[in-house]
Structure 1
């Protein structure tokens, strides 16, 4: 998946004694905060709290403001003004030093159910929503009240996540939703936390929330696109693991739709195009596969080696062998020692009966992975093609003898090495595999491993001790070396 995007939220300051500044464009927003007398009285308490020089007097003024605004709301014939002054009062409560988000209702100023709890964040959000609903033109005036507390809390969530304090990050992310339930960014934090905890279903729900809440707001374009991509990749992974059926088809269809929407808004993104190739291949739409890797055929320099290799594999899987051949060739120019690409390219060239290009590919595959038995079977296949292509008796005999030689070499390979992982991991490169002892006695070996850069130069080495391995048994190995420039590996033959 793509790397997560975290942006600290810059909050506006909310001043208790004054209203947020508004531009001329919002001049139509007019809130009556001076009548009837309950509203005007609350306003005076709010101003007194903001201007008080004695800290112990502030709570009393704020309690009085809440009391006059909530004792009997039905008598206050100015609901917009009442809600706006409640908003300002809650904001001043929250701005106090060491203020808590949850308080006893009586301590805040409510006369009804005074022993109950009052969540000031929820109360602030409710008052802001009420004003926005009644006076949409006042949204910009109301927004800073939410933004200040939302920003502070969300930044705590992001900081906690960066410090691997996942419980705290989840707490603050959920808390920030109380003051800005329609903002997608807390869900973006939660989706990452759920992924860390391997809660796939919850992570997907959070990603869907990000996409839905982002809408067409350009402020959220990046998190929306990120969630589209990550959700699509997750659905593809689930689809690949699922048995054939309606659920599998639904996941593939959803992933494809997400990636097509992503590419519509971010055209040319190579990672998304690569993922879309997987989706359409799984859907069986071979025509769409061809369209997707068409750009890679025309301009391979725009894509990474891995992206070209995956497109090549997709092309081969849909019987577009000539296109697959070109894509593998272009990818190997960027990473000439990629073992899986060499293996798959050799198979494509065998299908095309292209011995001219196949010869150097199988030679390099043996150089990279000399104890991989299938490399010798492919070499035998190369000579088989040559035998079939010639009518010269001497050349045919040489070719057929070579077929038998390499098939025998495959059958007698010992030890046999199966590389199960070879990939970049941060600045390191990891290689893992299994070594099978095909002999009649226990044995040990030393693997002289080399890591290579894009030019094939050696950037790191390690002698890997293997064994002893019982006859007919196997063992695993795992190597991880710090090598920022490494993109591939090779090892000397184990004997």
Structure 2
């Protein structure tokens, strides 16, 4: 009866229910699943009813034939004499019945085909699971076939129902659907993820953690589940971070440790640049909560090990973390990598210049300041960087001549910064695939009211102008500030600059 197994799977595919590609297929050297589907008599009769049901599924209603098949297969003689064939066919019949008009997960036994205790109820998902369990335990060669049937249309539908119910905050329904999904196939992470979401919404942290861990375990080793793995680590880490920040004492430490572990898994799952940046910030806060700032370098250890594989925002945040905890040599490496990623990253230019000053690499600073001023000419802070440079040189000076030279230069740049008539600063630089938003404010440091016309250029990583924009800001009263916001359609924008404002 090998042909019937093939035919039954083929009929299911005709219904638009594709088998999972990851399920192992029989090979010439592997045992073939060939259950007996011709004896005893109830099994033989059930085979005929199933064949009629398959034919009806192409355009009719197979419910009657499926009920007849289930009735025959529920005969105790069938399972006693042929447990493998009986239970494989019974599982198939349940899966097909769930796809018929009016079928639900919980039904009256008589409406499904049982003649004994017809007014009792049956959970069809659980019944299908039990039938396939028998096959998998008794016939290892049929495990792949059972797995294909487990992940047919009813599993896909109920899994999607669980996800949709959770998204709609229908927690009870989401839980029911997710458990039905697991009854059919517990080797896939989606239902565990839903149950974790339900538990979290109910403030049941222990259950949420259990289900998250089960989701990760079922996703292990399968790259097609990378999105689920990333989402799971994100949910675990954000939950633990929130609990750590709300707790005190031992509970705070426990949650912080859990958050660090989850964040490490999250980083290993390769989130995007902005997600990684947020994860680094959270991990730093958790080490502080643990009172373990000596291990701050662990936060950016995977990044500094291979900096060119990370994005500019991640590298910048890692460098800021290293700077904050006096890891200047690490900060230099990270900011240098950020500039290799994007030569026009103004925060990386600024922070690298400061790191060079702090590490005594004074000769490297002037070039960075020139690059900063080319991007941001009306920011007094960029001019002031030269004053910091000469302050560092002054501390290292060996002769009176050098001390005078560096003192004069320090005073010159400090006064130049102080006397600049305006200051422009930026509060937002957001990019999508097709649009850029730039926002900030202009401070009028002069003595008369003035309107400032600002002309922006948006550039790619090679320095090519890909879009332009402008904003008339003002009139701005003396010693006052006024905001601006520019939105342009543009792709591949890496940075921005503006013409000197007069």
- Both structures adopt the same fold (TM-score exceeding 0.5): yes
The equivalent position to 2:305 in structure 1, one of 289, 295, 306, is: 295
| 2:22 alignment counterpart | none
Q: 1:453 to 1:212 in 2, by over 3 A?
A: same
Within the alignment, does 1:345 sit opposite 2:352 as a pair? yes
Deviation at 1:73, TM superposition (A): 5.5
Hey, what's the Cα distance between the residues in 2 that align with 1:49 and 1:308? Answer: 61
The equivalent position to 1:357 in structure 2, one of 333, 355, 364, is: 364
Residues 349-391 of structure 1 deviation map (CA, whole Å, 9 limit, x = unaligned): 2212332112222333233233444334323212323444446
Trace 1:65-464 onto structure 2 (pairs within 5 A): 65-70=69-74, 77=80, 80-94=84-98, 100-101=103-104, 105=108, 106-111=110-115, 120-121=124-125, 123-133=127-137, 135-149=139-153, 153=157, 174=177, 177=181, 180-187=184-191, 208-216=213-221, 218=222, 222-223=226-227, 226-227=230-231, 230=234, 234=238, 249-250=253-254, 253-254=257-258, 256-258=260-262, 283=287, 284=293, 285-286=295-296, 288=298, 292=302, 295-296=305-306, 301-390=308-397, 396-397=403-404, 399-411=406-418, 415-437=422-444, 443-464=450-471
CA contact (8 A) 1:125 1:178 kept: no
Greater relative contact order structure (CA < 8 Å, 6+ sep): 1
Q: 1:286 to 1:90 in 2, by over 3 A?
A: closer
Deviation at 1:126, TM superposition (A): 4.3
Q: 1:153 to 1:479 in 2, by over 3 A?
A: farther
Moved more, 414-423 or 347-356: 414-423
CA contact (8 A) 1:309 1:327 kept: yes
Hey, what's the Cα distance between the residues in 2 that align with 1:430 and 1:237? Answer: 30
Moved more, 61-70 or 468-477: 468-477
Residues 37-84 of structure 1 deviation map (CA, whole Å, 9 limit, x = unaligned): 5444434433443457997784333222333445x7599635555433
Hey, what's the Cα distance between the residues in 2 that align with 1:54 and 1:430? Answer: 54
Q: 1:459 to 1:155 in 2, by over 3 A?
A: farther
Deviation at 1:307, TM superposition (A): 4.5
CA contact (8 A) 1:156 1:172 kept: no
Deviation at 1:215, TM superposition (A): 4.3
Hey, what's the Cα distance between the residues in 1 that align with 2:114 and 2:378? Answer: 79
Within the alignment, does 1:13 sit opposite 2:2 as a pair? no
Hey, what's the Cα distance between the residues in 1 that align with 2:250 and 2:453? Answer: 50
Q: 1:452 to 1:123 in 2, by over 3 A?
A: same
Hey, what's the Cα distance between the residues in 1 that align with 2:213 and 2:354? Answer: 40
Hey, what's the Cα distance between the residues in 2 that align with 1:112 and 1:411? Answer: 94
Hey, what's the Cα distance between the residues in 2 that align with 1:205 and 1:372? Answer: 52
Deviation at 1:490, TM superposition (A): 1.7
CA contact (8 A) 1:192 1:203 kept: yes
CA contact (8 A) 2:438 2:485 kept: yes
Q: TM-score, normalised by structure 2?
A: 0.70
Hey, what's the Cα distance between the residues in 2 that align with 1:492 and 1:442? Answer: 21
Residues 382-435 of structure 1 deviation map (CA, whole Å, 9 limit, x = unaligned): 232344444666764454344334434544555443322334322433323344
3-state SS of 1:337 partner: coil
Hey, what's the Cα distance between the residues in 1 that align with 2:227 and 2:489? Answer: 32
Hey, what's the Cα distance between the residues in 2 that align with 1:12 and 1:477? Answer: 63
Q: TM-score, normalised by structure 1?
A: 0.71
Listed as ranges, the gaps of 5+ residues in structure 2 are: 1-7, 14-18, 20-24, 288-292
CA RMSD of aligned residues (A): 5.2
Q: 1:68 to 1:263 in 2, by over 3 A?
A: same
| 1:5 alignment counterpart | none
CA contact (8 A) 2:338 2:345 kept: no
Deviation at 1:260, TM superposition (A): 5.7
Hey, what's the Cα distance between the residues in 2 that align with 1:255 and 1:50? Answer: 51
Residues 225-279 of structure 1 deviation map (CA, whole Å, 9 limit, x = unaligned): 545664577479759977886566545544554566688899xx99999899768
The equivalent position to 1:63 in structure 2, one of 61, 64, 67, is: 67
Q: 1:240 to 1:426 in 2, by over 3 A?
A: farther
Listed as ranges, the gaps of 5+ residues in structure 1 are: 1-10
Deviation at 1:327, TM superposition (A): 3.5
3-state SS of 2:496 partner: strand
| 1:8 alignment counterpart | none
| 2:489 alignment counterpart | 482
Deviation at 1:448, TM superposition (A): 1.7
Give the paired residue count: 467
| 2:3 alignment counterpart | none
Hey, what's the Cα distance between the residues in 2 that align with 1:318 and 1:286? Answer: 8
Hey, what's the Cα distance between the residues in 2 that align with 1:302 and 1:34? Answer: 60
